[in-house]
Every structure is written in structure tokens, then in C-alpha cells.
Amino acid sequence: MGDYKNTIIITGASRGIGKACAEIFAEEGWQVVIGYHKSEVEAKRLEASLLEKGFSVQAIQADVTKQEEVKQMFSKARATFGKVDALVNNAGISQFRLFTDMTEQEWDQMFDIHCKGAFFCTQCALEDMISSKSGSIVNVSSMWGQVGASCEVHYSASKAALIGLTKALAKELGPSNIRVNCIAPGVIETDMMKSVSGEIKQVLCEETPLMRMGSAQEIAKAILFLSSEKASFITGQVLGVNGGFVIG
């Protein structure tokens, strides 16, 4: 057991916040599963880059909205690394849409990826965590899940649901020594922001007390902290990493 390493599964890990998480956890000595759905090229490139540096990583494809694919992802992870010690539910999408123009399919897709995906992945992770009476789960929400965003009602609502899931599950799993926390990022420079105009980005920066957008790496560092023993007495919390955009 002297050479035992913790294993973490990170969904949506091919780009943005998920990629930054995969990199920082690998650098800290974790065995990392790079979960991805459609971005195979990016995921395999990240896997190759980290393997070249001598890190223990594996890219595994799964659609988190499909329970059987999630089960297969966890099965492959266990076959390579053993039991799963931590999970980051990061897979997500965004969409700007007037509420009156929103379709049922768009609404369902947002909740399927953010909420059902977290449901499926967490259930699988708990197979290891409950038996070992240890583990950490971090759900990636958004400050819009706390305060809401115009023209992103379905996104805001699904991210708010993740916050509710976090708080309730933390109470249920606490007696098993499993911690469940939530990150609520602010305006972060990732692919999700590419469709936002420079003018709107400038306004968002001006509304942020620190006067800038955050980086994926800054979010990843917070997730690393919550997943580590440094946060051993922290559970059921929503950590806002938003430059002061939302306070309180």
C-alpha cells in the first residue's frame, strides 16, 4: 500500500476547466481518468501529453447521459487504476436562448448533461466510496446557478439543481465519510466564452471586482483543494470562484 495513489475521474476533461483539472491532478500525483464524449482528438492529445511526462492517466469515452456508458467508463477506470477515490462532475454545455424560444429538447439536454450525468457518475463512484468509507465528489455549477442569468434560464436552472444535489447528498453521505462540495465559477476564459462578443466580455469584466475573467487553472486549483485532505472537514459547501462577481 506504500505506493498507492488516489484515482480521480473527471468528466468533460478534454477542454477548459476539465482539462486544467486533469493536468493539475496528474501533476499532484493522482491517477487521472480523462472523461470525454465527443472531443476525442483533444482528449487523446491531452492523454498523450501527460503520459509523455510520466503521469498515470487514461482517456475514456462516455456519454454521461447514458447510464450504461457511464458504468463502462468506471469499469475501465477500475481495471486500470483500481478503486475510484474522487469524482469531478464537470461535463457541461451552455446555450444562449430566450426562454420563449426554448424547445423541450434544449431544456432536457441541459438537465440531462448537468444533472442526470452527475446522478449516473456519482452513483457509480459511490460503489467504491461507501465500501471504503472515504471519497470526495466535486460538482461544477456556476454563479448563474446562484443568481440566474437572462437568456440562460435552462442553464441557470440546471446549475442550481447541482447545488441542491450537492447539499442534500453531503448530508446523506457524511456518515460514510464522503465529502460532497460544489464549485460555482464566475466568468472564466474557456471555449464556452468564445461565442460571447468582446463588448459583453468587457462589461462582465467591469462588473467583476477583480476586473478580469478567471482562468480554467484557477478553478482547477480550487477543485484540487476541495478534493484533497486539506479540505477534510469541508462538505456541502458552494465555493464561489468568481472574482467577487457574486458575494454572499
- Could you list the active site residues? 155
Helix boundaries (H) for 15-116:
16-27, 40-52, 67-81, 104-111
Q: Which of 170, 224, 214, 168 is nearest to 192 (CA)?
A: 214
Would you call 28 exposed, middle or buried from its count of C-beta atoms within 10 A (0-12, 13-18, 19+)? middle
d(CA 57, CA 80): 9
Show Cβ contacts of residue 223 under 8 Å, excluding neighbours closer than 6 positions: 17, 21, 88, 138, 140, 183
Length of the chain: 248
d(CA 67, CA 93): 18
Please tell me whether residue 157 adopts helix, strand or coil conformation. Answer: helix
d(CA 60, CA 73): 6
Distance of alpha carbon 106 from its chain centroid, rounded?
21
Let me know: does 83 contact 34? Beta carbons within 8 Å: no
Would you call 29 exposed, middle or buried from its count of C-beta atoms within 10 A (0-12, 13-18, 19+)? exposed
